[in-house]
Structure 1
Amino acid sequence: MDRFERDRLVKLEKIESLGIDPWGQRFDNHQPIEKIRSMAPAESGVTGERVRIAGRLMSRNNKGKLKFYFLQDWSGKVQLMVSRADVSEEQWELIGALDIGDLIGVDGTLRLTNTGEVTVFVETITFLTKSLSQPPEKHSGVKDIEILLRQRYLDLIYNEGVLERMLKRTEIIASMRQTLAGEGFVEVETPVLHAIAGGAAAKPFITHHNALDIDLYLRIALELHLKRLMVGGVERVFEIGRVFRNEGIDATHNPEFTMTEIYQAYGNYESMMDLTEKIVVDAVKKISDEMVLPWGEETIDFTPPWPRKTYADLFAEHAGCDMHDSAAVAEVAATHHIETADKHPDVIVNDVFEATVEDHLQGPVFVIDYPASICPLTKRKQDNPAIAERFELFIKGMELANAYTELNDPRLQEELFLTQLQGQTEEDSMAKMDHEFIKALKVGMPPAGGLGIGIDRLVMLLTDSRSIRDVIYFPLLRPEGTEE
C-alpha cells in the first residue's frame, strides 16, 4: 500500500467518525451539470437558482477559508466554491476529508464569478463514495495505451473527450434504430450459437454444448436467420448484435464487433443504397449540426446524394487495366506481391482491387456491381450474369457497408454452396452447406435487398477515431503478463 492510499484510508476513517456512510446512499432529484450550466445568471454577482448536482471531484484549489473544486458528471463539469462561513462545522470537517476522485452530491446556488466562470456556491455536501485510488497526475494524465484499455474507467474519467465519444456511440446506435423504425423495419434477436458458421467468409470461434455433446460456432454473421424470418413473412427486419470472427486485430478489426444487418422484401441493392445513405446522414445529424465532420487534418462531407461508381470503372482507373484482362491483372498482382497460384481469377481481381483502389475511395462513395463469382449470396444482373448486384460503401478507404440484391433461388444457392471458390480453404469459406437455410428458401423468400453496416467503423468515422479500440468500451486484449 502506498502513502497515497494510506492517506485516503485515514480520510475514510474520518468520514466514518462523522457518522457518514462513505459509500453513500440514494441521491434523488439531481440535475445534469450541462443543464444547470445553462441556468446560470447572465451577470456576475447575481444569485441564481438553487440547484442539486452529483458527480466526481476532478480538481481543487484551497485558499484558506475558500475552497474551489471542479465537479464532473457524464454531461460536463462545473466549478464549486465552498466558503467556511456558509457551511456547518460538520460540513467543514467533511470537506477537509475530500479527495480528488471522490463522488459527492451538492446543493447550492448558481452564480457567475467575476471571471465569468459558472459556479455553484455550496450550501450542503452529501458524501456519496470514497475513492481509495490515487488519480493520474494532472498534467501527464493516463498515457499508457495498455493501461487505458485494461482500465477503461480511468480513460473515461480522466482523459478529455473519451466519455463524450462513447456516449456519441450510443446516440448513433439509437439514431439507427429510430431511422429503421421510421421506415417500417422491426428489430429482432437471432441465435448467437450456430450449428453451421454461415453467412460470411470468416473463421469462427468454436465452442461445445455439453448437454447435446455437439460443437457450435459463435455467429460470424446475422444473415441466414434473418432471411429465414423473411421467408416467414417478416418483410422488413433488422438486428443489431455482436458478431465473432477468429481473425486478426488491427485498427479496423476486433474479433468481437457490432454490426447491423437489414433485409427489405421486394427491394434490391438500390433500395439499400438509399436506406444506407439515410441511416448514416440521420446519424450525422444526431450528433452534429454540420454535415461536414473532421477527420484528422481532413474532413468528411456527408452531404447527400453520394456518388455511385462501378467496380469495373474504378478498377480500370486505379489498377490501370481491364478487370477481365487476366494477363494484365496478373502483371499488376505481381507488382503488388499478390499470390496468384491456385486462385480463381476473380479472387485475384479482388485482391488487386483491394491493393490498388480502396485507399483512393475517400467517399462517401458506393462501389457497385462486383464480380458475381465472389458474391455467392447475391443475385446476378439480368443483362450480365457475370456481375452481381452488390455494393460496398467506402469512406476514407474504409469499407463501412456491404449490401446485395439477395439471391432467393434455392437451386442456384445450393449449387453455389457446393462449389467453393478456388484458393479458399473450407474454414475460410461461407460455402458450407446449410441445409436448413436451403429448405427455407424452397418455401419461397421474396425478392429482397440486404444490407450490413459495421457499427464500430461507423462510430470511428463519425467521431474522428483512428482505431476501433477507441470506440469499443472493452476491446479484446492479450491476457496481462503474457508474452507477445
Structure 2
Amino acid sequence: MGDPKLPAPNHRMWLMAPPSIAKYVMDSATNRYHEAATWSKGKNLKNSQADRDHSPQGTLLTQLTGRIVAVRRMKHSTFFDVRNSQQEHQCLAGTSEYDGFGVGVADIVKLHGRPSRSRTGDAVLEVDSLVCLSKPSGQESLTDDFRAGALRRTGRSVRQDRAREILVDSGLRERLRVRIRVMRSIRQSLLELGFDEIDIPVIVTSPFAGTANLFRLNSADLASVDLYLRGSLESHLKQLIVAGFESAYCMGASFRNESAELHEFLMVEGMSSRFDQSQLIDMVEQVIRGAALSVRGFPAVANNRVEALATPWRRDTFSAITGASANEGASVKRAYDALRGPISDGFRLPVFVDKFPAVLSPLAQRDESLAGNAMRGYMFFSGLRICEIVQEQADAEEQRAVFEAQKLSIAGDSGAKKDSWAYDSELLEALKLGCPPLSGFGIHINRLVAALTDVRRVSDVVPFPLASGLMAR
C-alpha cells in the first residue's frame, strides 16, 4: 500500500513554533489513511472523539523522513534522534530491531511509528518500520562531526565543505534561518508599501558602480563587447522609474572585485517616485524594524540587538559625526578615512548619517544648501553600515557633469583605483527621456543578519560564501 499523502506544511506556523507531526488513522476496512490528532514533543497524546468514531478499528500511525543525528543504545532499547527540515524527533526501537535496520548516525531514513512516551515521560516516536534512503560515504568522519557539533577543518575551500558544515553546525543553521526570515519580512513589507519586485541583469555592459571595481567577463559570442558582473542594482532601477514604474525593488547579489566580503553580497535595492529622501528614511526604518522584530526569540538572535533596532534612529550629518567638512572629505580616500574612527566606536544604537560628500555619491542629487555634499546617507549600527538612502539625481546633463567631475577627482586622488571611473551611458540615455523626482535605498542583508546574530565573519551568515573573511565596516 502506498504512503499517505501528507498535508501541505504551514510555514507560517513553523516560523513561530516547532511543527506538529502529522498523524494518520489507517482504516483497515478501506486501506486508507485519515488525518488524526496532532502531536508534538511535550504535549499529551490524545485522539479526538471524531477520530475514534471515524476509524474504530484504526491504528495511529506517523510518517517521518529525516537524518539520524544521534544514537543512544541501551540493553533492550535504543533511542535515536531524527532531524527533518524543522526540528529533531526522538525515536525509539528495541535494540535488536534497531540493529536489524542496519542504520547509524548520518543515514537518511524514512520511518513509520506511533507517538508514545518513554518511562521518564519524554515524547518519543515508537518505530514500527524503517527504510534507509541514503548512506553517506565517509560516514565515520561525518559521525565525528555530528558528535562535535562542528566541522573539522580539512584545509579545503569554504564552499567545498559547506554542505557538511551546515549539516553538523546547529548554530550556523539557525543563523541561516534568521537570514531567511529577514528576507521574507523585507519582501512582505515592501509589498505592503506598494513596491513591485523585478529582476535586474547580472551581466552588465557598463563598469560603473560608483567608485567600486567590478569583475570583468569574457564571452565567446560577444568578444567585442565589454562585459562585467553587476556591482549595483541602482542604475537599472532608476531606468525603470523613467520607463513608468512608480516603485520597484530587486533583491539580489552584487559583485565587487575588492574585499572578500564584497566579492558577492546580497542587497535589497529599491527606487520610488512616490517618496522623497526624508519619507524614504522613515519607510526604510520601518522595514528594518519589522525585519528585526520578526526574528525576536530565534535561538541565534541577540535580543538586545533586536531591541536596539526597534528604537527610533538617531539622525546626524557626516560633518557632525566626523568633524570634517565636505571639502575636507573631497576625495574618496579622505572621506572614508574620516569615517573610520566613528564606525569603529560601534554605533551601539542605529544612527542615520546624512549629507555625505558628493565625491562618494555620483548618482545622488547635490545638496543646494550645503556645498560639496549630496543628499545621501547611511544607517550605521553595531559598527556596520547597514543601509543607504539617497535622493537620486534625475537630470541627464547634471548627471553627466557629475561623471566628469568624478573622473577629475579620481585622476587626482593618489589613493583611488585608476580604473574605478566610468560613464554609465545606458543611464544617461534613459535620463534624457525625462525622469521624475525619485529616491532610492539599499539594505545590506549580510550585514543586517550579522548585526542581529552578533557575528562578524561573512561565512557565519551566508549559505555559500567564497571566503570566511570579516565583514567590511
Normalising by structure 1, report the TM-score.
0.79
1:284 corresponds to which residue?
292
1:178 correspondence with 2:188: yes
- CA offsets 1:61-111 (integer angstroms, 9 cap, x no match): 2224322111111211121111369xxxxx66642x112111112222222
The answer as to whether partners of 1:45 and 1:114 remain within 8 angstroms in 2 is no
2:35 corresponds to which residue?
none
The answer as to whether partners of 1:136 and 1:142 remain within 8 angstroms in 2 is no
Letter in 2 for 1:234: F
1:131 corresponds to which residue?
136
- Residue from 149, 153, 156 that aligns with 1:144: 153
1:435 correspondence with 2:421: no
1:265-276 alignment to 2 at 5 Å?
A: 265-276=273-284
Aligned-pair Cα RMSD in Å: 3.0
1:261 correspondence with 2:258: no
Going from structure 1 to structure 2, the CA distance change for 1:43 and 1:157 (only over 3 Å counts) comes to closer
2:383 corresponds to which residue?
397
2:57 corresponds to which residue?
none
- CA offsets 1:378-434 (integer angstroms, 9 cap, x no match): 1122323432111101011111111210011111101111222231344123xx122
CA shift, 1:180, in A, is 0.6
- CA offsets 1:420-462 (integer angstroms, 9 cap, x no match): 2231344123xx1222311211111111111111111122122
**Seq. identity, %:** 24
CA shift, 1:149, in A, is 4.6
2:436 corresponds to which residue?
446
CA shift, 1:375, in A, is 1.7
CA shift, 1:472, in A, is 1.5
1:35 correspondence with 2:56: no
Going from structure 1 to structure 2, the CA distance change for 1:354 and 1:93 (only over 3 Å counts) comes to same
SS in 2 for 1:237: strand
CA shift, 1:358, in A, is 1.3
1:351 correspondence with 2:351: no
CA shift, 1:53, in A, is 1.4
1:329-368 alignment to 2 at 5 Å?
A: 345-347=330-332, 349-360=334-345, 361-368=347-354
SS in 2 for 1:221: coil
Letter in 2 for 1:311: F
1:388 correspondence with 2:374: yes
Letter in 2 for 1:365: V
Going from structure 1 to structure 2, the CA distance change for 1:448 and 1:26 (only over 3 Å counts) comes to farther
- Judge which range, 25-34 or 210-219, deviates more: 25-34
CA distance in 2, matches of 1:190, 1:407: 20
1:398-417 alignment to 2 at 5 Å?
A: 398-417=384-403
CA shift, 1:44, in A, is 7.9
Letter in 1 for 2:313: W
CA shift, 1:242, in A, is 1.4
CA shift, 1:298, in A, is 7.7
CA distance in 2, matches of 1:452, 1:229: 16
Going from structure 1 to structure 2, the CA distance change for 1:114 and 1:373 (only over 3 Å counts) comes to same
CA distance in 1, matches of 2:449, 2:456: 10
CA shift, 1:146, in A, is 5.1
Going from structure 1 to structure 2, the CA distance change for 1:288 and 1:145 (only over 3 Å counts) comes to farther
Going from structure 1 to structure 2, the CA distance change for 1:425 and 1:81 (only over 3 Å counts) comes to closer
- Residue from 218, 221, 245 that aligns with 1:211: 221
CA distance in 2, matches of 1:29, 1:267: 46
SS in 1 for 2:466: coil
1:110 corresponds to which residue?
115
CA distance in 1, matches of 2:227, 2:41: 62
The answer as to whether partners of 2:330 and 2:359 remain within 8 angstroms in 1 is no
SS in 2 for 1:190: coil
CA distance in 1, matches of 2:404, 2:83: 59
- Residue from 221, 228, 231 that aligns with 1:220: 231
1:62 correspondence with 2:73: yes
CA distance in 1, matches of 2:45, 2:248: 57
SS in 2 for 1:82: strand
CA distance in 2, matches of 1:178, 1:299: 19
Letter in 1 for 2:443: I
Unaligned runs of 5+ in 1: 1-24, 86-90, 317-321, 327-343, 479-484
CA shift, 1:136, in A, is 4.0
Going from structure 1 to structure 2, the CA distance change for 1:369 and 1:167 (only over 3 Å counts) comes to same
The answer as to whether partners of 1:41 and 1:110 remain within 8 angstroms in 2 is no
CA distance in 2, matches of 1:44, 1:112: 9
Paired positions, count:
419
CA shift, 1:369, in A, is 1.2
CA distance in 1, matches of 2:197, 2:4: 35
1:232 correspondence with 2:232: no
SS in 1 for 2:129: strand
The answer as to whether partners of 1:219 and 1:244 remain within 8 angstroms in 2 is yes
SS in 1 for 2:175: helix
Going from structure 1 to structure 2, the CA distance change for 1:184 and 1:45 (only over 3 Å counts) comes to closer
- CA offsets 1:197-245 (integer angstroms, 9 cap, x no match): 1232211111122223222111111111111110000110001111111
CA distance in 2, matches of 1:384, 1:414: 21
The answer as to whether partners of 2:62 and 2:112 remain within 8 angstroms in 1 is yes
CA distance in 2, matches of 1:45, 1:282: 36
CA distance in 2, matches of 1:355, 1:161: 31
Going from structure 1 to structure 2, the CA distance change for 1:472 and 1:348 (only over 3 Å counts) comes to closer
1:460 corresponds to which residue?
450
2:125 corresponds to which residue?
120
The answer as to whether partners of 2:89 and 2:125 remain within 8 angstroms in 1 is yes
2:31 corresponds to which residue?
none
CA distance in 1, matches of 2:378, 2:42: 51
Unaligned runs of 5+ in 2: 22-37, 49-59, 469-473
Letter in 2 for 1:387: N
- CA offsets 1:24-65 (integer angstroms, 9 cap, x no match): x98852888932378248688989964221110111122243
The answer as to whether partners of 1:400 and 1:454 remain within 8 angstroms in 2 is yes
Going from structure 1 to structure 2, the CA distance change for 1:473 and 1:122 (only over 3 Å counts) comes to same
CA distance in 1, matches of 2:159, 2:4: 31
